[in-house]
Every structure is written in structure tokens, then in C-alpha cells.
Amino acid sequence: MSDRPHPDGVTEQLDRDAPAPLHAQVSEQIRAKILSAEWPPHYRLRSEPELAADLGISRGTLRRALATLIRDGLLVQVRGRGTFVTSTTIEPSIAQKLTTLSEDFARQGVPYTTEVVSQRVMAAPPPLATLLDLSPGQSVLRLERLRSASTGPVAWLVNYVRTDLTPGLEQADLADRSLFGLLENEYGLKITTGRRTFTATAATDRIATALGVAEGFPLLYLEQITYLHDGRAIEYSDVWIHSERMRVTSLLSRR
């Protein structure tokens, strides 16, 4: 057994004669670094060849160790970027990209569930009809959903979608599918732009109950209008986000 530190902060303490296989020893060593916060959320591990060489193990053994931690939700691999320590606070990129929460969760490897609370066709209220370029009395699909992660409920979503462009949408299963993905893949709609406004708000009775917080709890509120490539509005949504379980991060460039 040796005890040799290397630049990534892992100290090699692998006993090749121990009953525990090498991959289990490595995963436990890394797990200790994460749980002690020595490796904080978003910390990027060195590349697999470098880590394997420093530990004196094969890449196959290292991958088995990392796979265990990925399965346990402590690490996440992002294609083209590397392996990162996960964050207890979900950070979607919805502040700068026209993606849905489900798409962001999937891309970050965050396990989530979606409960469809209601899904019905109704006449668009006057202000909403104006925003969606509809005539008074035209119908929309009103969709209410609760999205949860391993930490608990994270977002309450209410979407309104034009039914003149999406016939039969009220019959679709939207518990396991991205709304945008369905509109694009099933209806051939090309979503290109949107407008999002973020404000702070206090949780009201029904939303507080759904998100498991007290009335008056501070929430992040998102209002969105989505447009097709020809400029027509297709969807309006209200989203209330649990401010302690998910935060929105913007990546900015000066030039």
C-alpha cells in the first residue's frame, strides 16, 4: 500500500491485497472528498487518463469507480466538458437558452419526475389571447405540472398552448416528455425565440402546498412567451421555482 498525493486531491491509499476491489476503494476515496466538501459542487475532476495514471490503475477500473458515484448522484459527466461534482442546488441554463426545465435536467443528469395535475382545453382569457395572437374565445390547452427532483418539488408550471396549431395535444402524455420536444417532433413546429422575465414572489396557498413550503415563502417566478420561426406566438407559461432547491445562473460575455 502507498500514500502518494497527486494534483487532483486524491491520496493514493489502495491496498491491492485487501478484500475490497480497487474500483470500490477508489470510489470510496472520492466519495469522502465530496462529502467532506474538500471537492465542492461544480469541481471538475482531472481527465480519466490523468486520474488513472496518478492512481496507478487502469482506465477500466477508474470508470467503474466513477460509474458508482454517478449512479449515486455525486458526480455527473457532461459530454465534451468532463466529470463534475454535482450541486445540491440545481442550476439550469434557462436564463440564457431557450430550453425547458426537463431538457436542462436531462442534460445535467439530474433525475426528476413530472406530475401532470391538470390538462384541459379552455377559452383563452382576454389578456392571454392578446399575448398569443388569438381572437377572443379561441381555445388554448392549459397544462399544470409539478416537477420534482431528489430533493423534493422544485417547480410548479402552468403552460398555455395554442390548440389551433396543436390539434389533439390535450391527449398527449406530458408526464414523461418535454413540451417543446413534442411540439417540434410531433407537430413539426420550429420554436426559435422566446421572452423570459424573472421576478421574486411570495408563495400563495396552492403553490405553497405543491412545493411544500409555507405561505409567503420566497419563490422565483418566471413568465415566458415562446415564438415560432415565422413570428407567431405558440406558448405562454408561468413557472414558480423553489428558491432553495434551484437557482438560475446566467453566463455573460462582455463582447
Q: 80: alpha, beta or left, given left = phi > 0 and alpha = psi -120 to 50? A: left
DSSP letter for each residue of 142-186: EEEEEEEETTEEEEEEEEEEESSSSTTGGGS--SSS-HHHHHHHH
Angle at 157 between CA 154 and CA 161, to 5 degrees: 155
Q: Is the pTM of this model over 0.75?
A: no
CA distances from 180 to 37, 99, 111, 153 (A): 37, 8, 19, 21
Mean pLDDT (whole number) for 50-79: 88
On whether the CB atoms of residues 14 and 56 are closer than 8 A, the answer is: yes
pLDDT at 3 over 70: no
- The domain 101-242 having CATH identifier 3.40.1410.10: the answer here is yes
Residue 84 banded pLDDT, cuts 50, 70, 90? confident
The one-letter code for the residue type at 87 is S
Provide CATH code, domain 4-85. Answer: 1.10.10.10
Domain extents in the chain: 4-85, 101-242
Question: Could you tell me whether strands 233-242 and 191-202 are parallel, antiparallel, or unpaired per DSSP bridges?
Answer: unpaired
Distance CA 23, CA 28 (A): 9
pLDDT at 110 over 70: yes
Q: Of 57-61, 64-68, 86-90, 162-166, which range is least confident?
A: 86-90
Mean pLDDT (whole number) for 121-132: 89
pLDDT at 142 over 90: yes
Percent of the chain predicted with pLDDT > 90:
40
Estimate to the nearest angstrom the gap between the alpha carbon of 68 and the chain centroid.
21
pLDDT on residue 136? 83
Angle at 144 between CA 138 and CA 147, to 5 degrees: 150
On whether the CB atoms of residues 144 and 118 are closer than 8 A, the answer is: yes
Q: If you compute the radius of gyration of the chain from its CA atoms, what whole number of angstroms results?
A: 23
On the 0-12 / 13-18 / 19+ scale of CB atoms within 10 A, 242 is buried
Mean pLDDT (whole number) for 101-106: 76
DSSP letter for each residue of 96-112: TS---HHHHHHHHT--E
Query: b/e string for 23-49 if b means 16 or more Cβ within 10 A?
Result: bebbbebbbebbeeeebeeebebbeee
Q: Which residues lie below 8 Å from residue 17, measured CB to CB, with a gap of 6+?
A: none
On whether the CB atoms of residues 151 and 245 are closer than 8 A, the answer is: yes
